[in-house]
Structure 1
Amino acid sequence: MAAATIGLVPALADSGDPDLPKISAQQLIEKIAESDVQQLSGTVKISTDLGLPDLGGLESGLLSGAAEGHGGSSADPQSKLLELASGTHTLRVAADGPDRGKVSLLDNAAEYSVIHNGKDVWGYDSKSNEVFHSTSPESGHAGEGAEGKAPRDVPATPKDFADEALKSVDDTTSVTVDGTAHVAGRDAYKLVIKPRQSGTTVGAVSIAVDAKTGLPLKFTLTPASGGAAVVDAGFTQVDFSRPAASTFAFTPPKGAKVTEGDDLKDAKGGEPKDTKGDGPKRLEKEWRKGHEGTADAPGGPKTIGEGWNSIIVLETGGKGVPTGASGSTGNSDVDGFLNSLGDHVTGKFGSGTVFSTRLVNALITDDGKVYAGAVTKAALVKAANAAQ
């Protein structure tokens, strides 16, 4: 963090915004790190626009079906993650220390909730009337704080997103305080994180930080290409008093199908994979666990570049996606669909397809290599050429 270019310009009150004491970016980052909110309840609105095609909810159905097809449950928290990857969602959140938390995803007349109460973690999907139950490997410790953190596997609050963004702060980053704001009826400072490198798809990250508690109240990520935010997550209402104990009580409804997650874990021979982390470096590190001495084996991820321009490289050992004149699946409809999703590119590396979103892009070469990161298409092609 010390290596980051952190602006020392103090926050000044804009017209209509709260008049708060001056604070530097470094002090505000420290305030976030020292935040120790133990109890809260509130409503969070999350809007995500990655530029993915509108599948009319098909992605949620496919994911739930995949979970059930593998002996899982539509109430498994992991089967709900994709729903937050597009569109706008309203969540109700509550926390009381490190051992009690609840997040409810509201969807018209249906509701999905994840409840963490002591060692028990419950997921309940009212639409399918299914329940997923597992036990937490270890409870939290006094003093850790709830800090509005969602139950396991549900990235739901501005703090969840802010923590990940702050992990990316290094000497390739500029961090400043850009005034103040009112968020959910609270006075807040605005912390702005901007890449100093060209070639990244990330334009800026703005975090509204509660002036009193240091808790991130709003998180906004805008792309370098401009336009609407890729991710905009913020409290619309928040209360820092202790929620009622009944908030975290749960009993499976009569007739509900209950799936025991611990049984599924044992049947699969290990712990479920944790998809959270801090980008390409984390992926490379996690893959190496249990694969010592096989860094160059097919499938082993490598990281090239630094900072916001980091690119993960995967050697799949297989063929890439047939594209354009370079290949065909033998089915014209399938070929047309694949070509509509990606752009055919060529270079010293040969040829391949770039699949793009407004934030993350991936190049799959025809010989099976994958280059992916929050970088432009040109940066991916340049990296693939340099690898030859």
Structure 2
Amino acid sequence: MRRRMLTPIVAAAAVLAVAAFSHGLVASDPPRLPGISPLSLLKKVGKPQTQAVSGTVKLTVDIGLPKLPKLGGDGGADPMRLLSGVHLVRLATDASGSGSSSDSGSGSGSGSESESESRERIGIQDTLSEYDLFRDGSDLWMWDSAHQTARHGSVDSVTSALLSFASPSDLAKTFTGPSAVKTLLFDTAYSMRDTRRVAGRDCYVLQITPHSDGTTVGSVEVAVDAATGVPLSVSVYPTGSSSPAIKAEFETVSFSADPSELRFTPPPGAKVVEEATPDLPANPVHGAGTDWTSAAVIGGVDPQKLIAGLGTPHGAAQPAPEGFAAVLAALAGTPGTPLQSYLRMMMADGAKTPVGVVWSSRLVSLVFTPDQRLFVAFATPESLEATVAAEVGHS
């Protein structure tokens, strides 16, 4: 059974505590809203009143990863650095073209057809540069302002996972979508917290608390806009921690998206690179295990080839990166030595076990198996090892 539990972290093989007051409002002044049950709020999230959202998201990531290096030789924004630190992300998305009515394609139960028609822009802002990803259906543009380079390719399931990483609404689907609720209903407590304001909007706050052994997730808080049902803030707390390992929250938000903001044309003088479609399996990502300790599994991941492939500069006489390495190279603009060294350090820190090389942080565990599969889970190393062993036994 494929689940969205881990999609925000599968794209980088490792993967978001700063709580800000909005518009000068103090924490002692929560908005007064009609009472609502957790189940009713979940239904509200599943059928939001709008499919267009734009604004600025503050993304805080502290899962225990060492700080990622600047990947370009002269700095600049890049999407790989979203996996640690604090970032401002400009987000615009519009799924109104995915169905014949406002309800047909909305909510966390939307299928691949509606996702393929969505249009979105994610702009990663740095001090003097910005890195933008534009998705129009299956078409993808990546614009690096620091290097005046536009890369053009197509959206695959791995890239789609990274695109959802910076969106509070997509991140919320991980924990509030129909498949998650159905699977986790019997070992999860859903409760309402005090209302609050996010980006000047009145919000209900849903707390999701796992009651299962082996997960690293202590609780999840989702702030849902009372009027539209759109999640505006998501915080994921590790077990035993009062600070979130992942927090994505709108600082400004509008329930519309300017069409011009969702389309990209390379500016005059820009370097345009046509990226070859990575040689990935038809469905490189699938699920393994059950409940809160279930894992996302990516096939065709050879760590050594991945590290070597990332060092291939454009125009070199060496073979171009392939498979998962090609995805990372395209997103990071062939980062070369910094990311290579980072991944080598991660692999050196991994523990060799009967099921493969195991690496873990305070929220995420990874297993690289000998048959070139990567397992990623919100689970303890021991729990993930058990999931891998069971999956290998059934293969």
Q: Shorter chain as normaliser: what TM range? A: 0.5 to 0.7
Shift of residue 126 of structure 1?
0.4
Supply the distance in 1 between the matched residues of 2:226 and 2:167 (Cα, whole angstroms). Answer: 17
1:310 aligns with 2:294: yes
Equivalent of 1:215 in 230, 243, 247: 230
Match of 1:199 in 2: 214
Equivalent of 1:16 in 26, 29, 37: 29
1:257 aligns with 2:277: no
- Letter paired with 2:89: L
Match of 1:184 in 2: 199
Q: Matched residue of 1:213: which SS?
A: coil
1:43 aligns with 2:56: yes
* TM-score using structure 2 length: 0.63
Supply the distance in 2 between the matched residues of 1:369 and 1:340 (Cα, whole angstroms). Answer: 18
1:131 aligns with 2:150: yes
- Kindly indicate whether the alpha-carbon contact (under 8 Å) linking 2:346 and 2:359 is maintained by their aligned counterparts in 1: no
192-201 or 81-90, larger mean C-alpha shift: 81-90
* TM-score using structure 1 length: 0.64
Q: Which has the larger radius of gyration?
A: 1
Match of 1:157 in 2: 167
Q: Matched residue of 1:154: which SS?
A: helix
Structure 2: gaps spanning 5 or more residues: 1-26, 98-117, 305-343
Shift of residue 114 of structure 1?
2.4
Residues 107-141 of structure 1: CA distance to partner in whole angstroms, max 9, x if unpaired?
1110112234688643211011111235789xxxx
Residues 26-66 of structure 1: CA distance to partner in whole angstroms, max 9, x if unpaired?
10011011103143331111011121112432xx449xxxx
Is the helix fraction higher in 1 or 2?
Answer: 2
Supply the distance in 1 between the matched residues of 2:197 and 2:203 (Cα, whole angstroms). Answer: 6
Structure 1: gaps spanning 5 or more residues: 1-13, 63-73, 138-149, 276-281, 285-302, 321-335
Residues 244-268 of structure 1: CA distance to partner in whole angstroms, max 9, x if unpaired?
444345331222111234xx23xx5
Supply the distance in 2 between the matched residues of 1:353 and 1:121 (Cα, whole angstroms). Answer: 33
Q: Matched residue of 1:247: which SS?
A: helix
- Kindly indicate whether the alpha-carbon contact (under 8 Å) linking 1:114 and 1:151 is maintained by their aligned counterparts in 2: no
Shift of residue 87 of structure 1?
1.1
Equivalent of 2:363 in 359, 373, 380: 359
188-197 or 80-89, larger mean C-alpha shift: 80-89
- Kindly indicate whether the alpha-carbon contact (under 8 Å) linking 1:116 and 1:151 is maintained by their aligned counterparts in 2: no
Q: Matched residue of 2:34: which SS?
A: coil
- Kindly indicate whether the alpha-carbon contact (under 8 Å) linking 1:103 and 1:151 is maintained by their aligned counterparts in 2: no
- Letter paired with 1:92: R
Q: Matched residue of 2:163: which SS?
A: coil
Supply the distance in 2 between the matched residues of 1:367 and 1:361 (Cα, whole angstroms). Answer: 18
Q: RCO (CA 8 Å, sep 6+): is it higher in 1 or 2?
A: 2
Match of 1:287 in 2: none
CA shift in 2, pair 1:175/1:273, >3 Å: farther
Supply the distance in 1 between the matched residues of 2:170 and 2:367 (Cα, whole angstroms). Answer: 28
